[in-house]
Amino acid sequence: MKQLDSVAIVGVGKIGGSIGLALLERGLAKNVVGIGRSQATLRAARRVGAITNTTIDLNRGVAEAELVVVCTPVGFVEETVKQVAQHCPERTLITDVGGVKQPLVAPLDDGLARGCRFLGGHPLVDGDGSGVLSARANMFEGRLAILTPTPSTRAEDFDLLENFWQSLGSVVVKMSPEEHDLAVAPIDHLPYLSAAAWIAALPEQYYRLIGRAIAEATIPKAGVPEQWRQLLTMNRDNVLTALEQFGSKLAAVHAALRDGKQDELLQFLVQAKKNRDALGS
C-alpha cells in the first residue's frame, strides 16, 4: 500500500491503537491522528507510539484525513460516521471495525454528506486485555479481516481497504453484511455468551479451584459488558438462532446423561473432538 499522508482513528483502544502502531511501524502513514473522548487515553496512545497527533475534537481530527477508521463501540458507529462525513475532506472513504455489520451498513451505504463513502470492516482478533495498553503492531498478522461491500460499493474503495488490511498482515475475506452477521453469531457472539453463562453459574466457593488454563480461556471473552450488550442487541435474530441450536445440543447431552445412554454420550464427545481437531491449533 502506498504511504498515506494522514489516517484518522476514532477511538484509540486495543484495535484502534494496534492499527496505529502497525501503520507507523510499517511506514504506511506519515501521520496517524487519534481522536477520543479522554485526554488520558490519548496521552497513553501517544506514549506507546500508536498515534502522532491527538484531539478530542472529532471535526478537527478528521479535517485532513485520507482515510478514517471508526473504532468506537458499535452503538456509536452510525452517528460517528455521519459526523465524520460532514467534516472530513470531500469523497473521503470511511470504514469501521465493528463486530456487527448489517445494521450499520444499511443506513450508511449511500447518501453520506459531501460524497463520502462507507465500507464496513471487521478484523477477527482476540487476545488478553483491553484498551490501548493492550495494543500490538502485530495484532493483525495472519488474522482474518472481513470486508462487507454492497452493490453500491465502488471497486476502488474495496481495493483500497483490501490493500490496507493486507498491508497490516491480514487475510481479507469478502462477505455481504448479512452473511457476516449470520457467521459471527455462532463463532463470536455465542462463545461470549457461553463463557458468560458458565461464569455466572459457577458457585463462588469453587473459584479458588479453577486452574489458570480455564481462567485464561475466558479472558478474551470477558470484554466490556456494555459493548457486548450493543453487539448482541444489534445482531439479535442471528444470536437467538445460534442460542437455539446450542441449546438443543446441550439438551441432548443432558438427556443422554440423565437417561444413562452411554453410547449417545460417547458419540457426542467423539464428534465434538473430531470437530475441534479439524479446526487445527
Last residue of a domain, one of 144, 176, 208: 176
Last residue of a domain, one of 159, 176, 193: 176
pLDDT along the chain (281 residues), means of 10: 95 96 98 96 96 97 98 97 98 98 95 96 83 94 97 97 98 98 96 87 86 65 82 98 97 97 96 92 69
Q: Are residues 198 and 159 in the same domain?
A: no
Q: Are residues 160 and 193 in the same domain?
A: no
Q: Could you tell me the three cell numbers for 189?
A: 457472539
Q: Are residues 72 and 150 in the same domain?
A: yes
Q: Are residues 187 and 144 in the same domain?
A: no
- State the chain's maximal CA–CA distance in angstroms: 68
Other CB atoms within 10 A of residue 162 CB: 20
Domain count, the chain: 2
Q: Are residues 160 and 250 in the same domain?
A: no
pLDDT at residue number 223: 66
Query: Does the global pTM surpass 0.85?
Result: yes
Q: Are residues 219 and 149 in the same domain?
A: no
Kindly report the CATH number assigned to the domain that includes residue 229. 1.10.3660.10
Name the residue range of residue 144's domain.
4-176
CA 113 to centroid of chain Cα atoms: 26
Kindly report the CATH number assigned to the domain that includes residue 140. 3.40.50.720
Q: Are residues 62 and 158 in the same domain?
A: yes
Last residue of a domain, one of 176, 199, 228: 176
Q: Find out whether 67 and 1 touch, Cβ atoms under 8 Å.
A: no
Q: Are residues 109 and 195 in the same domain?
A: no
pLDDT at residue number 5: 96
CA angle 54, 60, 63 (to 5 degrees): 110
